[in-house]
């Protein structure tokens, strides 16, 4: 399991969104550490709580920006957010049902890394480009 490093190419160009994405990278890397150190059981509750809070805070910020700038792909983008929220809720149910934390952590870590990379590289970057274009147009 490799760590995820923030590199400039991950930036969407919107400071708030980039800052929140960096928090997600930290969470994924903390989960990686917990798994390597055999502390998955101890950390999984905290990680899941972070993910639930992150989904609410980060997605609300993006959705507010989409509404403010009348982003034409808002529904598709929001649908991806809802999918992430459902996945976090599923992890919470599995945790409560007693699924082995090590297995759950491995699946969550892989899922987060995959989702994070594809969502930023496609969906969020498109949103960032659109907002920057609208901001430039408004400034002219």
- What pLDDT score was predicted for residue 76? 96
Please count the other Cβ atoms lying within 10 Å of the Cβ belonging to residue 24.
Answer: 20
- What pLDDT score was predicted for residue 72? 97
- What pLDDT score was predicted for residue 75? 97
- What pLDDT score was predicted for residue 105? 84
Kindly list the averaged pLDDT for each block of 10 residues, start to end, along the chain of length 140.
84 93 90 86 85 93 96 96 92 88 83 83 92 90
- What pLDDT score was predicted for residue 125? 92
Cβ contacts of residue 35 below 8 Å, gap of 6+? Answer: 1, 102, 105, 106, 109
Helices (H), 37-100: 40-68, 74-96
Please give the model's pTM, rounded to 2 decimal places: 0.87
Q: What is the DSSP letter of 13?
A: S
- What pLDDT score was predicted for residue 31? 86
- What pLDDT score was predicted for residue 127? 96
Residue 70 phi, psi (nearest 5): 50, 55
- The answer to whether residues 102 and 21 touch, using CB atoms and an 8 Å cutoff, is no
Lookup: tokens for 21: 């994405």
């Amino acid at each position: 399991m490799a760590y995820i490093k923030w590199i400039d190419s991950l930036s969407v160009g919107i400071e708030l969104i980039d800052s929140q994405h960096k928090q997600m990278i930290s969470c994924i890397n903390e989960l990686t550490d917990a798994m390597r150190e055999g502390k998955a059981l101890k950390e999984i509750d905290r990680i899941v709580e972070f993910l639930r809070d992150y989904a609410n805070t980060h997605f609300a910020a993006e959705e507010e920006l989409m509404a403010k700038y009348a982003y034409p792909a808002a529904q598709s983008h929001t649908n991806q957010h809802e999918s992430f929220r459902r996945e976090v809720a599923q992890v919470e149910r599995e945790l409560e049902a007693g699924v082995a934390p090590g297995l759950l952590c491995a699946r969550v870590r892989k899922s987060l890394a995959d989702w994070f990379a594809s969502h930023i590289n496609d969906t969020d970057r498109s949103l960032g480009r659109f907002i920057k274009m609208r901001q430039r147009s408004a400034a002219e």
